[in-house]
Structure 1
Amino acid sequence: MRMESTLSKSIKLALISAVGVTGMVGFGAVAQEQEAEEVERIEVTGSRIKRIGDLSPTPVTVVTGAQMADMGITNVADILNQLPSSTVGLSPETSNNFIFANGLNTTNLRGLGADRTLVLVNGRRFVAGSNGNSAVDLNTIPTAIVERIEVVTGGASAVYGSDAIAGVVNIITRKDIQGAEVDLSYIQPEQSGGEEMQASFTFGGDYLDGKLSSVFNVTYAEQKQLKATDRDFLSNPVGSIHNPDNVDGEDGLPARIQYEGRKPLSWINEAGTFFTSEGQFTFDENGNLKPFDYGEGLIPGPDYANNNGNYCGPSCEGYDPTNYSFIRTPLERWVLTFNNDYEINDDHKIVSEITYAKYDTHGESSPVFHTYDPANTVKADNAFLTAETKALLDRTGADEFTFYRIDTEFGNRKYEQERETLRFMLGLEGAINDNWEYSVYAQKGALEETTLWTGEIWDQRYHQAKDAIVDANGNIVCRDEAARAAGCVPLNLFGVNQASQEAIDWVQTSAGRSADTDQFSAGAFLSGSVYELPAGDLGVAFSIEYRKEEASTTPDQALIDGTIFGNTAVPSDGDYDVTEAAIEMSIPVFDGMFLADDLTFDLAYRWMDYSTAGKEDAWKLGVSWAPIADLRFRANKSKSVRAPNIGELFDPGGQTFASITDVCDVANIDQGPNENRKKNCTAAGYGNGWNPTDDWYQGSRPGSISGNPDLDAETSRDYTIGFVYTPSFIEDFSVTMDYWSFEITDAINYISVNTAVRYCYDSESLDNIYCGLFTRDSVTGNIIDFVERPVNSASFDVKGLDIETDYRFSLDSLGDFRIHLIATYLEKWEYNPTGFEADLQKDVGEYTDPRWKARFTVSWTYDELTIDALANYRHSAVASNDWQPENNNYNDIPSHTTWDFTGTYDVNQDWTLRFGVLNAFDKAPPRNPYVYDGDGLYDTQGRAFFLGTNYRF
């Protein structure tokens, strides 16, 4: 069996009050270890104070690297996203359609946002994983080098600074490695697609007479793409359609009903289709005219054109989105880690950390497509049209038609992403005397991102090339003489794969963007005991830190000019710096007294000075009280902050268009929720029957999207209160409960132009944050410009309860057993993006925020064999709390449980085998239009088989 190191026992001792996850030590065992061994001071997440066998001042969840390996987990994000206290941030399952975020793996504690979750490595910040953001990309952390992960699910800004509103994830890397080890793992789904593998080599040892301790690791990991067509339940999607029996909003019948199966779009396909007075037509593969085949017929439902519906049955000739649906982006990564500790003497050492990570991924979507557009027409004399097609056009009196087509000639659009991260840290740590320890460090982190769009086309060339005619010599050429002179090659789009390679090459292109992110930080920490009180040492920690963040992007000129299909980008450049100072105190008041076996107060205060958001502060008050040895109560109250990141501040954005409803229009001015609208519109000069000009409503209005350099920091008032019960009459049993609350104000939220117009005039006065987001013409009063930018308008109010129970016992010759449960109950989830009562969103109980989430584990160990059964549970939910029977018939989403069965076998002290089946009962996501494809919340892998091995030498 595996032997526990003194270090692991020390960690367990320091975290005995923590909320744990699989592998958490039992309390009875801790007490025995405390008596048996003397342990050194160690640091626990949530505090900078070094403690000897002390209790964590805040609830902490702990996961070890060994546990992740045993469960078949190859990415740190995967275990964090399974914790009940967490929600999936960006991941390969959720980032496919985010062009600059493909493949990112971030964690999102309490569902409050990845930018509100601070990720540390060995207690220090790590460079951001995406340009302009602050969230760390967990792809850069190899699981083989992880000793443990400590998660504080509560405000921790006073201890660690900005971004820690929702909590802190501190990844502690391995240090005491002697020799080498090779680790291999592979996951094979029962259905092809989504395969995963990881290979890791780790080497460590002591050199120079034991003064130098080094750890080196290189990890290669690959995750294959998962398409909708790779899974039965995805290939047979669940959607919704218009209810043909519904008459109006008061007949008691839902407007939409659930629909199972594929439903192609009836007005566009890969061969091209168009409409005439004689009906809808398309082409066969060779370009011959044929009537459009609706298969089982049109699915009833209103559309913009003819009230017959946009979709048709599975066998019709329309465009089937399922064939182009991608559920998980592929991910291939290399990570190198090289850490060193050099002992100058017994009291001082130089520490260094080097991380290099490089990975490739891509998002993927359908080929470019063309629908209704004044430029997207085909003239009746097009050289590639057959005589039959020209006869149809002549018969119907059409000299041109709008052409609806998916242009497969150019391949799927891919957003290929390459990221390189380099981080170097150099520090000095040691002890000043028996009571005081220090740490000084400086580090530099850099991220380079290169994004390449493939499968793209030049817009102008496409329209020039498809407009083909027969010249005087009988040759097919482009109609536009200037285009011909520039090399235009006529493009045949009628049918499938009829275009020449020369024409494809002339139209097709790619475009890219490079992005650079740089982080420099330096800090000094000092902790120790300032006075010995009757109940113990009064511990303090001082820290001072400086950090500078920079980010810039450089897109290709084609993206700046907007000359390719569907994508634009503009250069950006921004930076900020912050200086911080903090103090933390742990004050023991009573020890070993009646009804006060222990009473300790914890205090922390942090001052911050941002070059952008100005001066801010954060604080924390905590108390830990054990009236008897078996029962401990703990409570924390704090103020936390998050300063805006570079993207929110300096994103130059780009042009956008929007259809605007002017609330001061005579038709809308009396429709406000109160008298404010009419009062403010009149005060601004747009009352008394005012209207925009007649042509203003006839089109979309231009505007822009950008950052906001005037943003302030967000503020959270949060608290936790709970208890830990470890009854002495039941050995190795514990139960922990913690109630928590977050109230975030001035949260950053992007404001649309219609929201800005509405609340400019619905506010108490015209002096508000919304009126400055749009511009009116000084003569007509028409809104002629707007900017959609983030403002400090939102708020969160989130409350819940964390529960953990852990029980270990032995049954003589049958082996050792463990039963472990960790769960979160969500009492309240309210989000208001604007501060107005009408916009309040009460999301608790919806599928994104179910009432209950839990992990349940049963473990059995017999000699060298360990078997684990692990269940992940999500409570039943609804799609929307605002649902009414008139909306649809698919609001209810059932509870969902998946089971993993894994095991380890120690062949000898150097060789361990791992094996298992994940999602053993092949549980698919609920058959509901909202979540049948997982939505990042439910497993889409299906049943998968896991095999791994670790060999040490």
Structure 2
Amino acid sequence: MAAAPALAQDQDAEVDAVSAADLEQENTDRSGDAIIVTGTRISNPNLELASPVAVVGEEELALQATSTVEETLREIPGAVASLGSNLNNGNGGSTFINLRGVGSNRNITLLNGTRLVPADTSLRVNLDIIPTALLERVDVLTGGAGSTYGADAVSGVINFVTKTDFEGAELTVLNSITEEGDGYVGRADLTLGANLEDGRGNVVLNLGYTKRDPIRQGQRDYSEFNISSFSGNPGGSSTTTPIRISAAGGASGILGNISTDPDTGAESNTGFLQLDPDAGVLRPGFTPFNFNPFNYFQLPLEQYRIYAQGNYEISPAFEVFAEAMYVDNEVRTNGAPSGTFGVTAPIPLSNPFLPQGIVDQICAADTLLYVPAIPDDPATPEDESAPAVSAPGQVEAFLDPAACAAARAATDPDDPNFTTVNLTLGRRLVEFGERLSVRETKQFQIKTGVRGEISPTLNYEAFFSYGESDRTRKQSGNGLRSRLLQSLNSTSTDQCLDTTNGCVPINLFGPTGSVQPEAQAFIDTGNQQSNFNRLTQAGAYIEGEPGFTLPWALSGVSFVLGTEYREYTAGASSDILSQTPSEVLGNGAATPDFTGSYDVKEAYGELVVPLVEGKSFFDELTLQLGGRVSDYSTTGTEYTWKVGATWAPVPSLLFRGNYQKVTRAPNIFELFNPQVTGLANFSADPCAGSAPLSNADLRAICLAQGATSGQIGGIIIDPAGQVNVTSGGNPNLDSEDANTWTIGAIFSPDFLPGFTATIDYYNIEVTDAITIPTEDDIFANCFGVNYADGSLAIDGSSASDPACTGIRRNPATGNLFGELATTPGLPQVRTNQGKIFTDGIDLTMAYSAPLTDSIDWNSSFQGNWTNSSTFQASPNGLDRECVGFYSSNCASLQPEFSFNWRNTFSFNDVSVSVAWRWLDSFEYEPISDPSRFVEEFTTIDSYSLVDLSARAKVLDSLDFIFGIQNVFDKTPPLVGSNIGSTGFNSGNTYPSNYDVRGRSYSLTLKLGF
């Protein structure tokens, strides 16, 4: 990787640092006397940027055996891993980059300086679509990009630069496989190019195919079994097999009354009872279901792509250019077998599959049952002694043993003794097999334009671009809630009471394997969702030198003036099954249809003013200014500006600095996404257990949140460590403001030829940030939780406080987890009340020198120290520090220190390269009470990986690159499965931050002619 410094947010990527002068030389345009560097649209042969830019070169991508660029970018020191190819849960079929940890929606992704069509409604670009084999380099700019590319470049810009002068043919074939014999990755690219009419033009065509096989968590010893972060014992889901049952109501509160906590072994009133299939009765406690083996550590991918570009100079004043790309991308995610996941169902006591022993337990527990009500007779006076009506056609009642026996025999709903009981069911439908989601993305983008000279010192460019991205998600193996309830409402083994849709009764009350194939075929119909994105953009600018130079300068003033227009349209559509909350079993949030759009009209300008050159202590002093005014159809007019400078007291030392003010308008997801209920990782609930029985204020709060008196004392925390959360867009959002600045230096000493070092301090602060509160913040605002020790301060809380009543509980159990349609859980409302801050230092060093007459040594180092990365969701919320910490509140890991160091030794036609990647240690967020977890899971030691590669030129036209990744087969650190956020803490570790493949081998063949 190359560096004029600073990066963004993905944790590791080996870097070949080069001096700014070398970088300029590499990036000359077709005339050979002007450069175009990411971060400005001004071409100037003397320009060295005031903003840090890191560069990943073609050679680095080849040595890393990269199948997709996301794998490289997330390994850059100072970057924070976003959703990537190692994450199964929550992955929507795309990969992103999160520069500096301030959000993957706060940076811009470009291809040859033009925005790419987004992949989702947050307007993020899928990095998997980039044509890796055709890349000349990747520029990562982390300061001062807003005025050049748009105000949403809060943390920076990633610009993928392709080869524009390729001639000939090149075939590249990459193969990689782990030492375990799994996780195969294959990539093949054919690139064809030709120059036209003595270099007046060039055309390039790239055809590519990638196949990536899955790695399951069950294929690694450390992740084969789910481990509870609380106890260190086997963990997993409370939706298991055989079935787990609980029933609310009655004098005892919960069916069975006493059960055993699977983590601690303590008996408590949790209502967890599991079927003993041999005895046909429910026993206290349950065996958690191990879902790990089914989840992926490496997502399978199959991709076809085509990319073409061309340019032709009719005259110096008029050159036409065009590029087009098309990608067909299929990604699969996998889940453990579906289940009932706490569905509360009215079960006839005469259901033939319901064991008699369970019926006897129901009757003995004095459980609240429901029996048919006598239809209202308007002529009959109201009987105040009659049971209260709880639902149309039903009344509440308690059955004595005799009535229960009569209900057991009553199979006709018209029979007065016919009775149903509301049971909360936790049955894993292992007979269905795995839940599979297949996401296919079809994406294309075209760009065309003209450019040329207005005069010898002035140039122009104008372009138009249009792109579409359509993704379809097809699911199977889930099953439908409505059909499950229909199947359970049966009093015979071969016919449902409601026979529509060809209903087949289901046996959930037997041992594993009892669910009939016919019942599966009825319940599992499959479902489908899709989303789309459209991006139309056009722009034009003129740039160059107006023809005047300041008295103490040698170079003339340069400028650019431009205008740009963009229109975004995005949305989602689903079948009615996916739109219905809780209808698709185990699907998490519903996906209602929505569409949103906005456009923006912009004008911008930049000015580079050489103030002093060639003077004592002022070899160079240059001022850089930029500004952009944006008119959004949603939020109105916004302003972005920057000021930067470079000062070289001597040729070997250059100081640089940059200050930027940006305003980011909310995206389509933030504005228009409907409110939906989904899942998050969380493992606390003040209303759980016996505490509300002895604390009247706490009891009042729990009741105000939807719990019933009968549920108090029996409320539990989800053993899987999850909680329901409700969030979505907010059409009343305004823009957020950001101030960013960097200051640093480039050092290329004359006394050490071949050595270059850069150091830069960066500082990013986002105010009025569009954020949602963390789960801890929601609890603290209501219950007055003491972050230091987890204790409560209920005296200051009120049952009528909106911070408390906004939390909504499961009406059937009082828990904060369960059916999404009835349990909103924690409210995570998007507002402009947040604040985000990060700062740190980037350091790069590069050295190149001959060791002997025949051996050359090239060394490159890139490191980062992140001083702080804080997030405050609201003025009353905690200003949370996440650098060096992990918890459910800090999503992806962000180390305090990290570095990559590559050393390459070259002799004749062979080179050997060693790369060392190092991440600092972590500890569990101390303010979130680490004593709840096993002590060994509350710290992560520093982590090192070593990669080895060798490159050999066998023939003039044939190169081989052999690589060993993770040479010492370093395993990832283990922290259990529910100590961090759902998306990033998976398989007992953090798979986006640590290597989960194990030692692997790669072979790349490159044939050119």
Fold match, TM over 0.5? yes
Aligned to 1:6: none
Partner SS state of residue 233, structure 1:
coil
In 2 relative to 1, CA 601–706 (structure 1 residues): closer, same or farther, beyond 3 Å? same
- Which structure 2 residues correspond to residues 420-499 of structure 1 after superposition, within 5 A? 420-470=442-492, 476-480=493-497, 483-484=498-499, 486-493=501-508, 494-499=510-515
Indicate yes or no: 2:119 matched with 1:129.
yes
Q: For residue 141 of structure 1, what is the amino acid of its counterpart?
A: I
Aligned to 1:383: 352
**1:333-387 Cα deviation digits (max 9, x unpaired):** 11210111122123421111101111111222122212544416474x4434678
Q: For residue 841 of structure 1, what is the amino acid of its counterpart?
A: R
Aligned to 2:894: 849
> Is contact 2:473-2:530 (8 Å) kept?
yes
Corresponding residue to 2:528 among 488, 512, 517: 512
Aligned to 1:925: 972
Task: Tell me the distance in 2 between the aligned counterparts of 1:713 and 1:661.
Answer: 36
Of the structure 1 ranges 932-941 and 916-925, higher mean CA displacement relative to structure 2 is found in: 932-941
Q: CA deviation at 1:696?
A: 5.1
Q: Aligned residues: percent identity?
A: 26
> Is contact 1:26-1:732 (8 Å) kept?
no
> Is contact 2:230-2:932 (8 Å) kept?
no
Task: Tell me the distance in 2 between the aligned counterparts of 1:754 and 1:56.
Answer: 42
In 2 relative to 1, CA 307–270 (structure 1 residues): closer, same or farther, beyond 3 Å? closer
Indicate yes or no: 2:428 matched with 1:406.
yes
Aligned to 1:333: 303
Partner SS state of residue 522, structure 2:
helix
> Is contact 1:477-1:484 (8 Å) kept?
no
Of the structure 1 ranges 176-185 and 340-349, higher mean CA displacement relative to structure 2 is found in: 340-349
**1:26-60 Cα deviation digits (max 9, x unpaired):** 5797899999x994212101111101142122111
Partner SS state of residue 461, structure 1:
helix
Tell me the TM-score normalised to structure 1 length. Answer: 0.82
In 2 relative to 1, CA 693–796 (structure 1 residues): closer, same or farther, beyond 3 Å? closer
Q: CA deviation at 1:939?
A: 1.2
Q: CA deviation at 1:632?
A: 1.0
Task: Tell me the distance in 2 between the aligned counterparts of 1:45 and 1:585.
Answer: 15
Corresponding residue to 1:22 among 6, 15, 31: 15
Task: Tell me the distance in 2 between the aligned counterparts of 1:162 and 1:605.
Answer: 10
Q: CA RMSD in A?
A: 4.0
Task: Tell me the distance in 1 between the aligned counterparts of 2:65 and 2:102.
Answer: 28
Q: CA deviation at 1:392?
A: 9.0
Partner SS state of residue 577, structure 2:
helix
Q: CA deviation at 1:828?
A: 1.5
Indicate yes or no: 2:70 matched with 1:77.
yes
Indicate yes or no: 2:175 matched with 1:186.
yes
Task: Tell me the distance in 2 between the aligned counterparts of 1:715 and 1:149.
Answer: 28
Corresponding residue to 2:999 among 930, 943, 947: 943
Indicate yes or no: 2:850 matched with 1:828.
no
In 2 relative to 1, CA 490–425 (structure 1 residues): closer, same or farther, beyond 3 Å? same
> Is contact 1:183-1:950 (8 Å) kept?
yes
**1:844-887 Cα deviation digits (max 9, x unpaired):** 22252221011011110011111110011101121214265744
Q: CA deviation at 1:523?
A: 0.3
**1:301-335 Cα deviation digits (max 9, x unpaired):** 457635999999xx996522223333332221112
Of the structure 1 ranges 159-168 and 451-460, higher mean CA displacement relative to structure 2 is found in: 451-460
In 2 relative to 1, CA 656–455 (structure 1 residues): closer, same or farther, beyond 3 Å? closer
Task: Tell me the distance in 2 between the aligned counterparts of 1:451 and 1:78.
Answer: 24
Aligned to 1:169: 158
In 2 relative to 1, CA 302–578 (structure 1 residues): closer, same or farther, beyond 3 Å? farther
Aligned to 2:812: none
> Is contact 1:795-1:831 (8 Å) kept?
yes
> Is contact 1:453-1:512 (8 Å) kept?
yes
Task: Tell me the distance in 1 between the aligned counterparts of 2:482 and 2:742.
Answer: 60
Aligned to 2:89: 97
Task: Tell me the distance in 2 between the aligned counterparts of 1:227 and 1:775.
Answer: 36
Q: CA deviation at 1:445?
A: 0.8
Partner SS state of residue 139, structure 1:
helix
In 2 relative to 1, CA 651–32 (structure 1 residues): closer, same or farther, beyond 3 Å? closer
Q: For residue 843 of structure 1, what is the amino acid of its counterpart?
A: C
**1:550-579 Cα deviation digits (max 9, x unpaired):** 112221122234443244221101100001
Unaligned runs of 5+ in 1: 1-10, 243-258, 277-292, 471-475, 672-689, 763-769, 777-782
Partner SS state of residue 569, structure 1:
coil
Q: For residue 923 of structure 2, what is the amino acid of its counterpart?
A: V
Corresponding residue to 2:537 among 517, 521, 526: 521
- Which structure 2 residues correspond to residues 348-367 of structure 1 after superposition, within 5 A? 348-367=318-337
Q: For residue 490 of structure 1, what is the amino acid of its counterpart?
A: P
Of the structure 1 ranges 166-175 and 503-512, higher mean CA displacement relative to structure 2 is found in: 503-512
Indicate yes or no: 2:655 matched with 1:633.
yes
Task: Tell me the distance in 2 between the aligned counterparts of 1:512 and 1:105.
Answer: 21
Aligned to 2:339: 369
Q: For residue 923 of structure 1, what is the amino acid of its counterpart?
A: K
Task: Tell me the distance in 2 between the aligned counterparts of 1:760 and 1:298.
Answer: 29
Of the structure 1 ranges 84-93 and 874-883, higher mean CA displacement relative to structure 2 is found in: 874-883
In 2 relative to 1, CA 53–691 (structure 1 residues): closer, same or farther, beyond 3 Å? closer
Indicate yes or no: 2:110 matched with 1:110.
no
Of the structure 1 ranges 843-852 and 871-880, higher mean CA displacement relative to structure 2 is found in: 843-852
In 2 relative to 1, CA 853–632 (structure 1 residues): closer, same or farther, beyond 3 Å? same
In 2 relative to 1, CA 604–227 (structure 1 residues): closer, same or farther, beyond 3 Å? same
Q: CA deviation at 1:275?
A: 8.2
Q: CA deviation at 1:652?
A: 2.2
Indicate yes or no: 2:840 matched with 1:811.
no
> Is contact 1:547-1:577 (8 Å) kept?
yes
Aligned to 2:573: 554
Aligned to 2:818: none
Aligned to 2:379: none
Task: Tell me the distance in 1 between the aligned counterparts of 2:740 and 2:669.
Answer: 26
Indicate yes or no: 2:136 matched with 1:119.
no
Q: For residue 383 of structure 1, what is the amino acid of its counterpart?
A: P
> Is contact 1:378-1:403 (8 Å) kept?
no
Indicate yes or no: 2:612 matched with 1:612.
no
Partner SS state of residue 185, structure 1:
strand
In 2 relative to 1, CA 502–560 (structure 1 residues): closer, same or farther, beyond 3 Å? same
Aligned to 1:879: 924
In 2 relative to 1, CA 550–486 (structure 1 residues): closer, same or farther, beyond 3 Å? closer
Q: CA deviation at 1:274?
A: 5.5
In 2 relative to 1, CA 697–813 (structure 1 residues): closer, same or farther, beyond 3 Å? same
Q: CA deviation at 1:759?
A: 6.8
Unaligned runs of 5+ in 2: 8-12, 248-258, 277-284, 366-400, 409-420, 716-722, 785-801, 809-822, 887-892, 980-984
Q: CA deviation at 1:910?
A: 1.1
Q: For residue 451 of structure 2, what is the amino acid of its counterpart?
A: E
**1:97-136 Cα deviation digits (max 9, x unpaired):** 22xx433111111111111111111111111121x11211
Aligned to 1:765: none
In 2 relative to 1, CA 533–299 (structure 1 residues): closer, same or farther, beyond 3 Å? closer
Partner SS state of residue 114, structure 1:
coil
Indicate yes or no: 2:947 matched with 1:900.
yes
Tell me the TM-score normalised to structure 2 length. Answer: 0.78
Q: For residue 269 of structure 2, what is the amino acid of its counterpart?
A: A
Q: CA deviation at 1:839?
A: 1.3
Indicate yes or no: 2:786 matched with 1:732.
no
- Which structure 2 residues correspond to residues 758-777 of structure 1 after superposition, within 5 A? none
- Which structure 2 residues correspond to residues 709-724 of structure 1 after superposition, within 5 A? 709-724=731-746
Q: For residue 921 of structure 1, what is the amino acid of its counterpart?
A: F
Task: Tell me the distance in 2 between the aligned counterparts of 1:913 and 1:120.
Answer: 31
> Is contact 2:904-2:911 (8 Å) kept?
yes
Indicate yes or no: 2:139 matched with 1:144.
no
Task: Tell me the distance in 2 between the aligned counterparts of 1:561 and 1:128.
Answer: 27
